[in-house]
Every structure is written in structure tokens, then in C-alpha cells.
Amino acid sequence: MINIVYRLKSPKFFEESIDEVELDGVVVRPTYLSICQADQRYYQGSRPAEVLEEKLPMALIHEGIGEVIYDKTGEFEAGDNVVMIPNTPMGEDVCRANYSYKSKFRGSGFDGFTSDLIKLDSSRVVKIPDDFDPKVSAFIELITVAYQGISKFSELAITPKDALGVWGDGNLGFITALLLKNRFPQSKIIVFGKHLENLNLFSFADEIHQIHNVPDDLVIDHGFECVGSSASQSAIEQIIDLINPQGTINLFGVSEYPIPVNTRMVLEKGLTLQGNSRSEREDFVGVVETLKQNPQLFEYLEKLVTNICEINTLSDLKEAFDKDYISHFGKTILKWNK
């Protein structure tokens, strides 16, 4: 079948292109998509020139839901609402598929979701209930990243989980803190951020602190870094200062630059650093189940929806990216009508 794909040709320039796909998987029509920082870095051209040269043209966006329109395998029915999994394993590996070099990832190496139709293997599609808010569901993928990090953390941590510190008052910090509160209701969730107006939205957290104004006696058992970029350095530094011995530091923030870490104190306190990136099918299934069991989470997650843009043309798509770029908090949701 012929498919029309909307690719980023060069920074800030989208174009239509034509692709031919076999009808051997699940064909999904995208409905609601969500812009991620990684998409924005391609769009703005802030990735290194050699990366842009290698990866573009490419359709952006790896967060999104859609409607099944055709499934030859019969596993799904036309009209089913589904969340799409961007990670695509290309072979067996000894590690989780989201860390495997054998996996491909949509919107980073192969086409993302901005197209008329998307063909996926049936294992890359998870059904969501019809009553899920589509605007929140659009960024389930981001929620799965926090979910998989927290799942790994709960297996790794050997010391008490009484006080869990989350650094970062952006989208991922919000989601990570919310999921931690939901999973460990007895733990004290303490959020550290720079912007008080953002921190005030974390009403479910037990404590919020601005990073320059932390009480002297405050300690945490485990830390979650959701800051990213060069600011990761000061966040990791503060976590190492405040964390109890043998705690874990769970890293989520992406940085284009190498980040120096005070290894002397890591050694002294016997800390464990765990990296987190992307997610896999079990995380999507887990998040969908968590949202089903805890519908009140939608009420909090809705706060992250700050821009809703209807996309009828490629100019609309450009406008949405520009709008997202100047937003300080929240997610830009694309109601896909192209």
C-alpha cells in the first residue's frame, strides 16, 4: 500500500513524501500525537550537524495514539484505540529491548508518527479503553519512560524508600513524582525545582523545594534526576549531597554534553547510578493498567496539557513546534487531521 509520510527534511522544513508498505501488520491512523524535546531538537536543528545529516529526512514524533483501521492478523478490530510503541526490536538480545543496539526507535533513526497511516507489528500496539482522555493518552509513551525507570528502581533499591527526591519541575519530573506517589503511597515524595510556579502544580507531592532554598537537615533515601541538559550537573551534585548511603540515583535527563560527577562521594556513600531511557511493551501494558486502576491520575496528568494544536496542514505542524518551543511547561498535543 502507498502511504504519505510527512518528514522533516531539514530543520524547520517539513515535506510530503511517499512510502510503500506491505499490508502484513496493523495499520493505524494517528489521532493524537505529542511533541517531545527530542523532536524539538531535530526541528530546531540543535542536534550535531552530522546527526542531522545522517537521520534526516525523517518523520518526527514518537509519542502518540491512533485508531486501528486494518489488521490482517485479526488481533485488533477496526476502530480500536491504541497506543503505539516507538521502540522496535530487530533481534533477540540479552538486555531489555529498549537498551538493545539491535532495536530501532521511531523518530530517531526511522520514521515517527507524522503520516497518513502507520504500519506496525501487532506487538508494537497496545489497546487503550475508549474512555481514556486522548490528550493525556497522547503522551503515554513519556509516562512509560518514568514507569520503566521506577520498575527498575524498585528492583535495585536495597535501602528504605522513606524519602524519595525528584529533581526537575518539568514534564518528566511531574510524571515521575506522580507515579512514585501512586506506587509508594507511604513514601515521602520531595520535589526539587527551580521554578516556583511549576513546583506549585505538584500538589500531590509531600514537599516542594526550590533548589537554592533546601533545609539543612533534609535527607533523601533515593534520588530521581529529571532535569537534563547542562543543569543535570548541579542536580546530580545536590542529590549526592542529600542522599543517604547506599541509595540509588536514577538518571532520566538527556544532555548533549558530558556531565561531570563527584565520584569520590559516590564511592564514599556506596551509591548506585542507574540510567533510564525509552521503554518497552511491558511498560506500556503497565501504564495502561495503572491508568485503568487509578483514573484519578488523569486529573493530575491533564495539567500537563498546555497546548492543543489541530494539524490540517504542514504549516500547522510548524506552528505547533514553534508554540511548543516557547512553552516553559507542559506538553503540546497535536490533534492529527493531516
**Span 299-338, contacts to other proteins by CB under 8 A:** 312, 337-338
89, 90, 166, 295 from 93: Cα distances, Å = 9, 9, 31, 35
Query: Look-up: residue for cell 542529590?
Result: 239
- Which 8-state DSSP code applies to residue 311? E
Residue from 11, 29, 241, 274 touching other proteins (CB under 8 A): that is 29
Residue 2 near other proteins by CB under 8 A: yes
Q: Which is nearer to other proteins, 321 or 336 (CB)?
A: 336
> At 186, is the secondary structure helix, strand, or coil?
coil
Does residue 78 bind other proteins (CB under 8 A)?
yes
DSSP one-letter code for 107? T
23 binds other proteins (CB under 8 A): yes
Rounded to a whole number of angstroms, the minimum distance from the CB of residue 129 to other proteins is 20
Q: Which is nearer to other proteins, 110 or 325 (CB)?
A: 110
CA 191 to chain centre: 19
Q: Is there binding between residue 19 and other proteins (CB under 8 A)?
A: yes
Nearest to 149 by CA among 105, 106, 99, 208: 99
Asked if 4 touches other proteins (CB under 8 A), the answer is: yes
Whole-angstrom Cα distance, residue 92 to residue 167? Answer: 35
Find the shortest distance in angstroms from Cβ 70 to other proteins.
Answer: 4
In terms of DSSP H, where are the helices of 112-215? 134-137, 140-156, 171-183, 196-199
Q: Among the candidate windows 12-20, 131-139, 275-283, 317-325, which touches other proteins by CB under 8 A?
A: 12-20
CA distance 74 to 201: 43
Distance of closest approach, residue 57 Cβ to other proteins, in angstroms: 9
Task: Select 71 or 280, whichever has its Cβ closest to other proteins.
Answer: 71
Element (H, E) at 16: strand 13-20
Taking CB under 8 A as the binding criterion, the range among 21-29, 140-148, 172-180, 221-229 that sits at the site for other proteins is: 21-29
Binding site for other proteins (CB under 8 A): 1-2, 4-5, 16-20, 23, 27, 29, 69-70, 78-79, 116-117, 312, 337-338
